[in-house]
Amino acid sequence: MATTPNHYIVILCGGTGPRLWPLSRAYHPKQFLSLFGKKSLLEQTVNRAQNIVSSKKIFIISNYRYQSKLEQYISKKIPRENLIYEPAKKNTAMAILLATCLIKIKDPNAVITTMPSDHYIKQVIRFKNTIKKAASIAKRHKQIVTIGIKPTFPNPSFGYIIPQKKGQTLSQVNLFIEKPDVDTAQALIKKGAFWNSGIYTFSVSALINEFQTLQPEFNPIINKLFQSENISKTIDEIYKIAPDIAIDRAISEKSHNMMVIPIKSDWSDVGEWKSIYQKLAKDKLGMAQINQDNQYLQVNSKNCLISAPKNKLIGLVDVENLAIIDTPDGLLICNMSHDGSAKVRDIVNQIVKDKKYHQFFLKK
């Protein structure tokens, strides 16, 4: 696959990963965790990006709270000036728009691929070729190109992309539905829908035009960025007025200028314990372990995910389909059947609302 000149990659690195509590915390979220091997999810994402573009064309947008982590580990792989910090969390629409505007100032002809920092993707070469194809299409057609994943079950935690032409390797997007219920998701899959990977490729002008047309409340923000003589000060100012909305809600659900490329890949957004269990190696009882130093004994138990501090023995009796996630100050026992692991967010919401529990998620 030919390389597209002016192709940049922006890695989104601002999430807190509440559904992976108690391993994921506000100051050490899932993108910094090593869940599949020794490298963190973020490091694996950067490595994939380096297979597609040069390091100087990789940007990371994150929150100031992660500055020390990023500069300690990632600045050795990409230029420090390519680390963009948001003064507040305003969701993915603002993060992507900010990175797009800053890159457009440097390179008006840029084509950008944005990707989350916390995904699991096994077929790296296939992924590389698909992203390069998306960049070529985005440059040629001036459309937003998203990557569609073939669903394996009706997951209500994902967005669904319905292509105009079922079974095609490239199609206009007919409809985008964000996080439908299980029954609706099942019906969409029968119609040939894909999971939305959250990976978008576009020319800078195409994305900015979509914001100006579909989300006019962002126009003052765009104007301020392009007219700014002090970018740092301007970023602080615009984040005080920026809408808090996801790119999927702001653009994907409304756009008529979007194409989808399906990819056959072992992919996961690593959004919940069940998805991690599905990707890990398992023993003959279906037991999976995040830390291979774990020790467990069982009686009539199977199909569990185990994570615990070293030198701790786990005993399991008459249980199955559980995630047992033990840390020095937190223990989660979660049913992985149905949407149980997705409800971990509800536990974190309770922690955040009650000050006496803040230390278990919000504190360093």
Segment 94-147, tens digit of pLDDT: 999 999 999 999 999 999 999 999 999 988 899 999 999 999 999 999 999 999
Rounded to 10 degrees, the C-alpha dihedral 256/258/261/267 comes to -110
In the numeric block, the tokens 């597609």 are attached to 52
As a whole number of Å, the end-to-end CA separation of the chain is 44
Could you give the domains of the chain? Answer: 7-268 (3.90.550.10), 273-360 (no CATH)
Write down the pLDDT at residue 210: 97
Residues 198-203, mean pLDDT to the nearest whole number: 96
Tell me the two tokens of residue 253: 């659900």
**For the CA atoms of the chain, what is the radius of gyration?**
21
Separation of alpha carbons 239 and 229, rounded Å: 17
State the number of CA atoms in the 13 A half-sphere of 358 facing the CB.
7
Question: What would the pLDDT profile of 16-51 be if each residue is shown by its tens digit?
Answer: 999 999 999 999 999 999 999 889 999 999 999 999
Tell me the two tokens of residue 52: 């597609």
Strand-pairing partners, residue 323, are 305, 334
Q: Where are the alpha helices (DSSP H) in 240-322?
A: 247, 273-279
Write down the pLDDT at residue 338: 65
Residues 222-227, mean pLDDT to the nearest whole number: 95
> pTM for this one?
0.94
Strand-pairing partners, residue 63, are 86
Question: What would the pLDDT profile of 276-305 be if each residue is shown by its tens digit?
Answer: 999 999 999 999 999 777 789 999 999 999
Tell me the two tokens of residue 264: 């056959």
Q: Report the candidate in 21, 12, 69, 95 with the shortest Cα–Cα distance to residue 46.
A: 12
Strand-pairing partners, residue 331, are 326
Q: Please give the DSSP secondary-structure letter assigned to residue 65.
A: G
